[in-house]
Amino acid sequence: MTVQRMDNVAIVVEDLDAAIAFFSALGLELEGRAHIEGPWADQTVGLPNIQSEIAVLRTPDNHSKLELTEYLTPPPIPTSTPPPPNTLGLHRIMFAVDDIDATLARLRPHGAQLLGEVATYQSSYRLCYLRGPSTTILALAQQLP
């Protein structure tokens, strides 16, 4: 048996509404929201008595989804410092955009911060890493003509 598909990537966020606003400004579309709790959720996640709010957003092409989760109980565990890009585990989520400068301009009012600079790779792409909601690292890629 092989994998049929990847359904989504999930990110735990501190403020669900702010994260929805951030990813909506990026261009994702809100598909739905739900309150999650109960024995099945506890068993799946491996934490007792969870209560969370989730939102699912999809890319405009309908091929990818992002699940945002705000834990109400138990409370989320904050990091003392934002992890650098070379931290083990989930590295980043990359999005292809048509205009990297315009995208950054839309995201900055929602707290986006560049980790370095916008760089050009072999006259093919403009690329950057940025910090998004709850210290998540995103990458943006704009293909050059």
| Predicted model pTM | 0.90
The residues near 87 (Cβ < 8 Å, ≥ 6 apart) are none
Residue 1: pLDDT band by 50, 70, 90 thresholds? low
State pLDDT tens for residues 74-130.
Answer: 998 888 788 888 888 877 899 999 999 999 999 999 999 999 999 999 999 999 999
| Strand-pair partners of 96 | 141
The residues near 92 (Cβ < 8 Å, ≥ 6 apart) are 85, 129, 136, 137, 138, 139
pLDDT at 82: 82
pLDDT at 24: 97
If you average pLDDT over every residue of the chain, what do you get? 93
User: Hey, what are 54's tokens?
Assistant: 């989730």
- Residue 81 CA to residue 19 CA, distance in Å, equals 19
pLDDT at 141: 95
Residue 9: pLDDT band by 50, 70, 90 thresholds? very high
pLDDT at 4: 76
- Residue 72 CA to residue 41 CA, distance in Å, equals 13
Q: 10 Å Cβ neighbour count for 62?
A: 9
B/e letters for 64-88, b = 16+ CB within 10 Å, e = fewer, are bbbebbbbeeeeeeeeeeeeeeeee
